[in-house]
Structure 1
Amino acid sequence: MKRKTLFTAASILLFLLSLIGCSSVKTTTDDGRQIVKVALSAEVNPPFLATNDRNEPIGYNIDYLNEVEKRLPHIHFDYIFGEEESNLIGIGAGKFEMAANWFFSNPEREKRFLYPKVPYGYSMTGLIVNESEQDIQSLDDMTSKKLAPVSPSGGLRSILNQYNEENDRKIPLTTIESPSNELNLKRVESGRSDAAFMNISTFDTIQKHLHLKVKVGGIVSKEPIYLVLQPSQKKLASQLDRVTQEMIEDGTLPDLAKKWFGVDFFQDIDYISEQGYQYEERKETP
């Protein structure tokens, strides 16, 4: 009986301490704005997210979120950095209200999280070719060409698989586990492969260091990217949809796309390709 009484007293004490701890967590700023915890990737992905000389986060995502704060003055974003998967786990556990890690939408995640209806940007995929190549601009041009090795799974492979399923003329695919983007670009430069298929931002990051004799032959797709929220954050998602759509229509987000990517990726792919979406034109991007 004595042991039970001691256990009960200890349980009550722990409960009271937990209440004290919860009450100490700030939910508003000193000036009364609602604090929204935003998970950001600890792994940079320029130009979506990078760091400056003072190790401060910069990039398209940060400019977008800063503009959202201006248009939703009752909200203050508090940034926490972590790995992508741990960020998603944190949202599910209620640790963060949302994450801004250039997420694609997929059925599995849609069951677990809340997606705004309006994407805040696009991740573009393209064919990287030798700088002397003039004839490769789309996947149609690759049915008789040699594509650099690709992974057996993932978003890029899904695009290639879908193309082969929907077309009689197939793209020959060489599959290896975890292909190196750097080695694939070197294969294209040397002529061992006619093209490599990758995200344009990935190509930019590598090319800024290697300065290979390669270029973007053509844009293949633009995949919408979204913020990911706790399912309970329906009001916040609605507010984000409203201001994001406003920013698209008034030219704010197209201007940010031009600033960081060198092109307005809210336009269609034909327009983007016609604008000459080449690395040389984007190398001075912030």
Structure 2
Amino acid sequence: MKTIRIHLILAVVLLIFLAGCGTAATVSEGGPGNASDPNASSSSPKSGPQVVKVALNSVPVPLFSFLDENNKPAGFIIDYLRELEKKLPEYKFEYESVDNEGQLIGTDSGKYAFAANFWFKNPEREKKYLYPEHAFGYAITALVVRQDRNDIKTLDDLVGKKLVPMSPVSGFRYILKDYNLRHPGKEIKIEDVDKTTHAEDLKLVDSGRYDAHLINVNQFEDVMKKLNLNVKIGGVISKEPVYFIFNKNQTELAQKVDAKTVELIEDGTLSKYSEQWFKVDVFKSLEYVQQGYKFRKEY
């Protein structure tokens, strides 16, 4: 009888141990607070911060997000994310690198809580995603032309000209679409292309096949560091507010990020990072930014 009783006790202990292992596996494989469940409710204080899955750009964006010489994430967006994590200890961000289309699809489906990129705001995206009220920064857009041209400095100058084709998901399209709505009868022609690179786009201008290309100033400068092209900035066009986009169910997270973004703007933190990465405070007026941007002489 003693032997049977001992065996029964051991069996009960083993069952309790296995049950404990099963519970732990459930949490790690998708329970509350796990990265595979970005829409999960907040964890209790004892279970630690809630893990939030974030889509980060897989294609380097000059000065915004890229890998440094030590293969570590760096740039304005990375510093901004680190500041957010400091201010929101109840969350732990877990990153996955993915291209633009994957960020949009993954955030819409709920795979990611939000996409950390410099997204422009437009009506189509606002139907699918949550936007914070306040921008975390600004993209400075410019027209690139050949060195020997001085006839294209503003969007008005593009009417009747050939602009380098752009992707259907490009934020620059909405700058042009808005312009066309405000200038009926004098629209800028927009051509489509599935995928391209900034280097390829600038080469099209350099070759004379196209008159101009609309691009982020930082991306232009990055290409010009690597290629000897006969192109220049014709004119700085706009200062476009940029945002992270959130899954529609992430209302609380989006509101918290927005509130902390305001704090980071008001205390000068984001202005400091802007000057560090872009050599100008993009939170100031467009006129100030235009004067502050120092284009290299070789451009």
TM-score by length of 2: 0.73
The CA distance in 2 between the partners of 1:92 and 1:253, in whole Å, is 28
Match of 2:258 among 208, 227, 241: 241
After TM superposition, the structure 1 = structure 2 runs for residues 101-250 of structure 1, keeping only pairs within 5 Å, are: 101-131=117-147, 136-143=152-159, 146-151=161-166, 153=168, 154-167=170-183, 170=186, 173=189, 175=191, 177=193, 181-189=198-206, 194-250=211-267
Q: Give the AA of the match of 2:71.
A: N
Structure 2 spans left out of the alignment, 5+ residues: 1-20, 34-42
Output the CA distance in 2 between the equivalents of 1:143 and 1:88. 31
Partner of 1:33: 49
Rg larger in 1 or in 2?
2
Change (3 A) 1:148 1:235: closer
Q: Percent identity?
A: 38
3-state SS of the aligned residue for 1:224? strand
Cα displacement string for residues 7-59 of structure 1 (whole angstroms, at most 9, x for unaligned residues): xxxxxxxxxx9976432357279993332221212222222111123322111
Contact 1:219–1:269 (Cα < 8 Å) also in 2: no
The 3-state SS of whatever aligns with 2:132 is: coil
SS across alignment from 2:283: coil
For each residue in 1:156-180, what CA deviation from the matched residue of structure 2 results, as whole angstroms up to 9, or x when unmatched?
3443343344237836647464576
Q: Which moved more, 1:247-256 or 1:27-36?
A: 27-36
For 2:286, the aligned partner's letter is I
Q: Secondary structure, in 3 states, of the residue corresponding to 1:267? A: coil
Distance change >3 Å, CA 133–CA 96, structure 1 → 2:
same
Give 1:73-92 correspondences, 5 Å limit.
73-92=89-108
Distance 1:65 1:194, change over 3 A: same
**1:195 to 1:42, Cα distance in 2 relative to 1, 3 A:** closer
TM-score (norm 1): 0.75
Asked if 1 retains the 8 angstrom alpha-carbon contact of 2:146 and 2:208, the reply is yes
Separation (CA, whole Å) in 1 of partners of 2:165 and 2:245 = 28
Q: 1:116 to 1:31 in 2, by over 3 A?
A: same
- Greater shift after overlay, 250-259 or 18-27? 18-27
Q: Give the 3 Å change call, closer, same or farther, for CA 135–74 of structure 1 in structure 2.
A: same
Are residues 1:95 and 2:111 paired?
yes
Unaligned runs of 5+ in 1: 1-16
SS at match of 1:128: strand
| Length, aligned pairs only | 266
Name segments (4+ residues, structure 1) moved above 6 Å.
17-20, 28-31
Structure 2 residue 279 is matched with structure 1 residue 262: yes
Q: Which residue identity lines up with residue 75 of structure 1 in the other structure?
A: Y
Structure 1 pair 133/267, CA: closer, same or farther in 2 (3 Å)?
A: farther
**Aligned partners of 1:147 and 1:31: how far apart in 2?**
58
